[in-house]
Structure 1
Amino acid sequence: MAWRHALLISMLLLVACSVPEPPPAPAPATPTAAPSPPTLVPRRPEEAATAFFDAWQQGQYSAMYDLLSADARAATPRDLFARRYTNIRDGIGEVKLTVQQTGPASTSGQVPFRVTRTLALFGEVSETNTLPLVQDQTGVWKVAWQPGLIFTGLTASSTVRVTPEAPARGRILDRNKKPLADNGSILAVGVVPGEITDEAMLLGAMADVLGMPAETIKQRYQGGQPTWFMPIVDRPGSDRPDLEAKIGSIPGVALHDRPARVYPLGPSAAHVVGYVAHPTADELRALASSGYDESDWVGRSGIEAFAEQQLAGKKGGAIQIVDQSGKVLRNIVEKAAEPGEDVLLSIDSGIQQAAFEALGDKTGSAIVMSTGGLHDIFAMVSNPSFDPNRFVTGLSDEDWQALNGPDRPLVLRATEAAYPTGSIFKIITMAAGLEKGVAKSSDRFDCGLDWNGLPGVTLHNWQAEGMLNLSEALTESCNPAFYEIGLKLDQLDPNILPTYARLFGLGKGTAVRGVHEVAGTVPDPAWKQQQIGEQWTTGDSVNLAIGQGYLLATPLQMANAYAALFDGTLTTPVLMPGLEGQALGDLKLKPSTLSAIKDGLSRVTSTPRGTAYYAFRDEKLPLLAKTGSAENENPDAHAWFVGFALPEKPSLLVLVMIEGG
């Protein structure tokens, strides 16, 4: 800018003029007085302005105060000065501040400047202003400060008010656009102190109905003005009729509806949908730049957490200067809130509810998934569960203890827990055996009670079944047939069966979007050496062949593996349409291999020797199915079942896993 060049030239001239001429040489014999020191030049206005602006940008409010004129310091104490800057900075969510001089100082010491603030909620906000400077008695330039230098129009008696506007959170919808998470209302149960006529009766009744100590209830309304509504506790909106009947007529008790996040299916879809909670201190530090504060709600698990950015929308609000009566003197900035976007899931509410109810009081998981094309998840439930509405209305100490108890109700067992699979793994062993030529569909296996294929070791079958071909062995879940295949695969290469397990998607996440999942474990020689420090044995391969040993898989991994039998392609399951499943790989199985596996599965429910025949003998719909019983560290084996319709066209696949079932 031209004025900067002019200023530079002026400063150079002033420096030159301030150098005194050398005194004349004294006469040799006549003593002379010492020369007078040069006159001090006052600091220029721009220097004072630059120092003030630099200190402001760095948040050095004490240094700013040192630059104020005597009159300004007399009007505003140091601590009040610093506190006002600090409170406004923090209150408006200031992330960055830039202050720049925009022109030369006037002859009277007025310095124009621009202040640009980057605010977490409002973005960049700029305004121009003028810094007034005066010279003190020594000629030094000082800032004639007044509150209007923070924001134009601000005075000693007015304040900066920030009014946030929260956006409506997006809904989570099922495949038919029925809400799984919605914006509804909950019931605030409270007390209006001035309306109490019999405090002992009120406290006794509320304590009994709400399950709270009377002392706690009283503490929560003590100190309130007579006409104030003092909230005591939140309850689901569905509790209103019961609460009105029991305590609604007691003088002093008040029931108010207030907006809140609600979950219509409650525990049935809790793990998939997730829940919201107020941000923790650590979360606030991470989210502050997005305008979050401690009153906001953030997704803590499930889709609520995964799609937080999409669901949350963008906050709005206003920053205003107001007088003591609250009258708006100036609008500094305004921004309308942008509502969050709805998130559509592949879940079917009716199927989800039915699957959850079918589990009853059993600990485990159930999955309903489509086969063919996209593997849409119609239902994914886990039990024990929790009610996400309780995170909104408030959790008691007992609630927290239950949530963190040994039953682990917060764990989505379908994806966050891995188990030995037992006999449902046998389709993978059968595929590997047929593809590698160690078995043929026509081979006959002795399915007696004992198998002695390992030196000095006798392994057992669950019942004597006679001589069976391979498909029949799958139907009747003959252990010796699969022990034999595991043995031969190990003799060929101990890594073959682990490789096929990974080909079917085990040992790694399914890449489903929206929920957390664990990878499980596919053991092989390298894994055992690294994790356990032992050599792989043939017995490990034989155990793996029937889904035992060190093998661990999630229910979703196994459901996805079976869904891949429809067309021979492993695909990412879809929970959020729009994030379509990606082909994870071709199983590379010959049509004859797939046919033999499907033939064995088709007899499980349709022939008397099938392991699920008696459960399904009255069903007219033909099914492909497999049962499994997996030994684990507990006395009772885990029970598995997977079934789907015959594969002429895509259908729904159902997988159920019961811990110790």
Structure 2
Amino acid sequence: MLMRQLARLLHNLAALLLVAACSAVDVAAPNAPTVPPSLGDAVNTARAFLEAWTKGDFNTMYGLLSPRSLVISREAFTAAYQQAEQTLNLFGENAKRFRILDDQTQRQGNTAIIRYDMTFKSRFLGEFTDSGRTMRLLLTDRGWRVAWSTMDIFEGLAGGAQLVLERTPPLRGNIYDRNGKIIAQDDVPNYAVRLLTRQYPTGSPDACFRALAETFRLYIGDFEQYRPFTGQDFGFTVGTLFQSDYEALRPSLDRVCLLQYVPQRTRFYYGGNIAAQTVGFVTPLQADQQAAFPNLAPGALVGQFGVERAWQEQLSGESGAELLIRTADGVTVRTIHRKPPVRGQDVHLSLDRELQLKAEQAIAAAYNEANWAPLRNGAAQARLVTGAAAVVLDVKTGDVLALASFPSAHPDAWRIGTTWDAAEVIGRYFAQRAVVNHATEELYALGSVMKIVSTAAAADSGAFRMTETRFCNGTLKSPDDGRILTDWIYLEPNRDPNYHGEINLHQALTSSCDIYFWLVGEKLNSLNPSLLKQYANKLGLGVPTGIDSLVDLEGVIPDPDWTRANEGRAWGVGDSLNVVIGQGNVKVTVLQAARMTAAIANGEVLPNLTLVKKVGYPGQPPTYVAPEREAQPLGLKPEVIEGVRLGMCEVISDTKLGTASWVFAGWDHARVKVCGKTGTVQSGTLYPHGWFVAYAGLPNQTPDIAIAVLVLYSREGSETGAPIARRIIEAYYGLPYAPFPRYWADPYEVLPTPGLSGGQ
């Protein structure tokens, strides 16, 4: 209301003041001095007026107005300038400055015309100059005075017109993979795919649900929420398709589903939502976020999560702006200044787009075939929200090639004008922890994968020789409290507890014999209770990975100092027995496990990890390049590295002792050599977490990739993580996919829980 009243007042005043400005006779003093002041005096008055403006001294400015101009009150005069400056959003020192054009000033009787330039420093427009402005002064009995009108603020600001600043969001920078392939791009035509439930071409929703789950890398069980709507006229957005995918997939989808394809233009992510928790996604700038991003126009895109958030400033570019004078009915009278938007910088990642997509597909496919998948989404028998993660690293460089987290979220759910049922879908995403990166933002016990560290610590410290044997028979009397500890194999149905028999240290790693490693833990504890922590840290566990752009948790490898500080108690032998098999308070990220595996694979250094390779504008030198960092030497004896590698390789190849040999049955080791380690972690429920880590490469060469997979609330790592890892390795090398285990179709059987055991 106040603004409208001010506009009407200025409209009425403008008419009067324009007349005043054009008629010197009306306002000149009747008894003007016989020797009038000079044109130089008029220039000095104009300079005083403008200097007062630059200082925000509106009282001095008002005192220099001609008598007829005083029809405007001091308050309204001040408000007119303050409103203009607020619209301009001036900032910094010298936000306003002027230059009088002396060669263009002139006098016409009792009127002086002063030409000048006015320069403004606007937060949104940058610095700009309004050139060739005109100020009229009249000779009065008080000397030269300014014949003021609202057009002295800006030419054209009269007759009820208003000063308007319009801001234009910039085009956000692209995100590319390591091969220059698009991962994210602005303003891309695509289709929102909506499932219409009134009918199914095959008569049943099952085939449709399976096709959609496969297409969009979703868990088929999530589609059960749509089954009750069968035969009813409802629609639900389930994904998005790029133009080429739409053309390729629509015929097969339409055979089993009734779908609506809604054309739209959005920031589009390859595959719809590739690497959503790692790449992140964007949402339009909300009103309550404006203070946090003052340089962005309303509606500009703001990064949420991952790379989009970490590199928001570079990706976002600079909003454009136009300073206009516009009439009440929307007619633009004048464009004072236009600052075009500046496109954002592009970000180039280490990710391999195709491998990333195939890793996500492998996890989703496993969930849609495995008997442990129904545990997801808080199923009645478990009430657990589960998920999975997979990380693939380049062994030689530390580049992150793939980082998949399941389930995932779709960026379109947050978009203004989205076709998704936003509140319901976003609520489900948070309930499922789909916005959490399971690979970097959560900590888990490592289970028997920790035995890689334990083997290295035992051999490198001299506590054990690689050839030193122990008898693994499934039980051990605890040196801590005398309890009988049971190995996982002791509880294995139809398995002889003496199956492992007499084995050496590397065979203990291959067979994942808890008995042997409890003996290792006891011996290391007697030498130095912190040895396991020291070797774990050396191999990248319990320390930040140094990854850029993502949450990087430190994790925990407990030792006496940690136990005293965090649990207020003394360390015992039992603590070492837990740590040596990766249980108890051991907490690491999936990314740390992959980095440890890469270190064993290269045998020399703990690699520095890289996600963002470079940032910059197309065709220009980059503004950021990932720094070269000297990798930390492992400092392990070569024979220790070889012993650990042998134990891991025989996990895959030793058909008696290898815990994952059955998963890799039929593998062509002469073509691609794979070495790994399984792990199973007690979760506090009947459903353990399954781990698998591995490295792979051509025979007799430095391995190419290291991989870590974690499947939450599932089964043993050999039964869950290993089949997924095999498929990802097959994808990397372009090998045919082996089918997932046949028993995944059988009813789920709860595993027995071994005493203190990390499982296989």
TM-score when scaled to structure 1?
0.76
- Between stretches 646-655 and 327-336, larger displacement belongs to 327-336
Aligned match for 2:91, one of 95, 103, 107 = 95
C-alpha distance in structure 1 between counterparts of 2:708 and 2:54, whole Å? 64
Distance 1:276 1:455, change over 3 A: closer
SS of equivalent to 2:171: coil
Paired residue for 1:26?
none
Paired residue for 2:532?
497
Counterpart residue type for residue 126 of structure 2? G
**Conserved? CA contact 2:277–2:405, under 8 Å:** yes
C-alpha distance in structure 2 between counterparts of 1:154 and 1:456, whole Å? 89
Deviations 1:329-365 (A, max 9, x none): 6543333333223322222233222221222235433
Deviations 1:423-479 (A, max 9, x none): 101111111111111111111122222222423233221123222100000000011
Paired residue for 1:264?
270
Q: CA deviation at 1:169?
A: 1.8
Query: In the alignment, does 2:460 pair up with 1:454?
Result: no
SS of equivalent to 1:456: coil
Query: In the alignment, does 2:631 pair up with 1:605?
Result: no
**Conserved? CA contact 1:367–1:379, under 8 Å:** yes
Q: CA deviation at 1:262?
A: 1.4
Paired residue for 1:595?
642
Distance 1:565 1:188, change over 3 A: closer
Aligned match for 1:652, one of 694, 702, 705 = 705
Aligned match for 1:378, one of 401, 404, 423 = 401
**Conserved? CA contact 1:521–1:551, under 8 Å:** yes
C-alpha distance in structure 2 between counterparts of 1:134 and 1:510, whole Å? 74
Unpaired runs of at least 5, structure 2: 1-41, 194-231, 368-372, 374-385, 490-496, 615-625, 715-760
- Aligned pairs (5 A) from 1:97-176: 98-99=95-96, 115-127=118-130, 144-176=147-179
Aligned match for 2:444, one of 413, 419, 428 = 419
Identity of aligned residues (%): 28
Paired residue for 1:39?
none
Paired residue for 2:292?
286
**Conserved? CA contact 1:101–1:111, under 8 Å:** no
Distance 1:338 1:496, change over 3 A: same
Deviations 1:558-615 (A, max 9, x none): 0011001122211122222342673441110010000000010011111122100111
- Between stretches 544-553 and 331-340, larger displacement belongs to 331-340
Question: RMSD in angstroms over aligned alpha carbons?
Answer: 3.9
Counterpart residue type for residue 271 of structure 1? Q
- Aligned pairs (5 A) from 1:623-638: 623-638=674-689
C-alpha distance in structure 1 between counterparts of 2:674 and 2:305, whole Å? 35
C-alpha distance in structure 1 between counterparts of 2:477 and 2:44, whole Å? 97
Paired residue for 2:203?
none
Paired residue for 1:572?
608
C-alpha distance in structure 2 between counterparts of 1:550 and 1:633, whole Å? 13
Counterpart residue type for residue 292 of structure 2? A
- Aligned pairs (5 A) from 1:371-520: 371-392=394-415, 393-394=417-418, 396-405=422-431, 407-458=432-483, 459-463=485-489, 464=497, 465-520=500-555
Paired residue for 1:6?
none
Paired residue for 2:560?
525
C-alpha distance in structure 1 between counterparts of 2:401 and 2:165, whole Å? 45
C-alpha distance in structure 2 between counterparts of 1:536 and 1:112, whole Å? 85
C-alpha distance in structure 1 between counterparts of 2:544 and 2:606, whole Å? 12
C-alpha distance in structure 2 between counterparts of 1:613 and 1:639, whole Å? 16
C-alpha distance in structure 2 between counterparts of 1:607 and 1:257, whole Å? 54
**Conserved? CA contact 2:446–2:679, under 8 Å:** yes
C-alpha distance in structure 1 between counterparts of 2:151 and 2:358, whole Å? 65
SS of equivalent to 2:401: strand
**Conserved? CA contact 1:160–1:322, under 8 Å:** yes
Deviations 1:362-392 (A, max 9, x none): 5433434244321222221111211112222
Distance 1:180 1:247, change over 3 A: closer
**Conserved? CA contact 1:236–1:389, under 8 Å:** no
Paired residue for 2:662?
614
Larger Rg: 1
Distance 1:55 1:475, change over 3 A: same
C-alpha distance in structure 2 between counterparts of 1:78 and 1:246, whole Å? 66
C-alpha distance in structure 1 between counterparts of 2:515 and 2:682, whole Å? 17
Unpaired runs of at least 5, structure 1: 1-43, 190-206, 213-233, 249-254
SS of equivalent to 2:91: strand
- Between stretches 480-489 and 310-319, larger displacement belongs to 310-319
- Between stretches 127-136 and 112-121, larger displacement belongs to 127-136
SS of equivalent to 2:529: coil
Paired residue for 1:340?
344
Deviations 1:309-328 (A, max 9, x none): 33222333433445678776
Deviations 1:109-157 (A, max 9, x none): 98887644222233222447576667988x5997543223323454345
SS of equivalent to 2:292: helix
TM-score when scaled to structure 2?
0.66
SS of equivalent to 1:486: helix
Counterpart residue type for residue 436 of structure 1? S
